[in-house]
């Protein structure tokens, strides 16, 4: 019943590559690169990475070398840069913008960078058509990571390694162009949201008819809420009432409408028998769970009949839960772990 998360591509430590609309402003490219850049200390990268030598410059912990320098307008602070990028540690690919963005370049803001080891520090040096090699020491990246978080780092992010970044600039966009793109994207998002909402309303009616037929066929009497959720209390709990903000401990089995189980923490075949804990109303589970569990007391055993807009909707979830699937959950509120 957990939500799926869309996770951005982490290139290295705090290096995050993502498509986004930003304001941009172009300027005439100077004949000489900004004086802030200084020669990097010559040393070799680990394994198959970029070899950093005296031809590289250094800015805020990033060694860089512009290998193709096309005359034109530089990216400017407050502007935007459209580019393709591949990031590697030795031969391990950490990120590939073409692969992760449907073959299209990504657009990122050009901002003043205060932190160390951010590849965005190089953006103001670049114009359309430029290509740049960058190398960042993992030791430099590690110096920016708090000690308590280091146990959670990926295996490649260790002392002695280096991150190699290959970036080619597609375009430098003006502030006006970026504002238009942002407005266009916002309009598209609003239109998509309206369409999704309309489709969800239609699906509520469809799913309700499916459940009504199911209840009639199986002689089930369930209670309907305003949202379209149905529930049936099989055993009333004698403990305190669950309310939003409480963390509860649950047992559950999830099934499709045909009875096929897709997840359970009481069925040993699913290999996770520990109680499931979550904060009610915290949007960490599907909406049908957030609403349904808040209807019960501690100790209650019940069945939730969840229409697809309150579950995984048109996207489905993995190979077992298809698009617009109505779900059934047999649940037990084992305990209230923490109160709000």
Q: Which residues are catalytic?
A: 252, 262-263, 286, 312, 329
Cβ-based neighbours of 329, under 8 Å, separated by 6 or more? 1, 252, 253, 254, 255, 288, 289, 292, 303, 304, 306
How many whole angstroms separate alpha carbon 190 and alpha carbon 182? 12
Question: Residue 293 and residue 280: Cα distance in Å, rounded?
Answer: 7
Query: Could you tell me which of 140, 129, 130 has the C-alpha nearest to residue 59?
Result: 140
Q: Backbone phi, then psi, for 104, in 5-degree steps?
A: -100, 155
Backbone angles phi, psi at 213, to 5 degrees: -65, -40
The Cα–Cα gap between 122 and 132 comes to 9
Q: Which residues contact 62 (CB under 8 A, 6 or more apart)?
A: 117, 118, 119, 121, 122, 134, 135, 136
- On the 0-12 / 13-18 / 19+ scale of CB atoms within 10 A, 167 is buried
CA distance 84 to 40: 24
């Amino acid at each position: 019943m957990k939500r799926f998360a869309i996770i951005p591509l982490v290139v290295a430590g705090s290096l995050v590559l993502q498509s986004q609309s930003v304001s941009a402003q172009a300027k005439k490219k100077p004949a000489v690169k900004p004086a802030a850049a200084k020669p990097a200390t010559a040393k070799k990268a680990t394994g198959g990475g970029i070899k950093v030598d005296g031809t590289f410059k250094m800015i805020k912990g990033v060694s860089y070398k512009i290998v193709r320098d096309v005359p034109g307008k530089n990216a400017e602070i407050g502007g935007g840069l459209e580019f393709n990028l591949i990031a590697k540690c030795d031969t391990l690919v950490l990120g590939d913008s073409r692969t992760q963005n449907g073959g299209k370049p990504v657009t990122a803001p050009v901002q003043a960078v205060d932190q160390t080891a951010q590849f965005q520090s190089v953006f103001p040096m670049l114009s359309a058509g430029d290509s740049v090699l960058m190398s960042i020491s993992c030791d430099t990246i590690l110096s920016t990571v708090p000690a308590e978080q280091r146990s959670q780092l990926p295996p490649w992010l260790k002392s002695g390694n280096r991150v190699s970044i290959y970036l080619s600039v597609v375009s430098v966009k003006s502030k006006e162009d970026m504002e238009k793109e942002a407005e266009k994207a916002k309009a598209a998002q609003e239109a998509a949201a309206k369409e999704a909402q309309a489709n969800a309303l239609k699906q509520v009616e469809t799913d309700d008819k499916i459940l009504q037929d199911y209840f009639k066929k199986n002689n089930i009497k369930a209670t309907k809420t305003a949202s379209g959720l149905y529930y049936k209390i099989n055993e009333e709990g004698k403990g305190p009432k669950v309310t939003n903000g409480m963390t509860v401990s649950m047992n559950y089995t999830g099934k499709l409408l045909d009875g096929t189980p897709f997840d359970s923490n009481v069925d040993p075949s699913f290999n996770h028998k520990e109680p499931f804990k979550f904060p009610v109303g915290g949007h960490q589970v599907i909406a049908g769970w957030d609403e349904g569990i808040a209807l019960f007391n501690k100790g209650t055993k019940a069945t939730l009949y969840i229409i697809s807009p309150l579950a995984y909707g048109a996207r489905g979830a993995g190979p077992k839960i298809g698009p617009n699937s109505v779900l059934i959950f047999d649940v037990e509120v084992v305990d209230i772990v923490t109160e709000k």
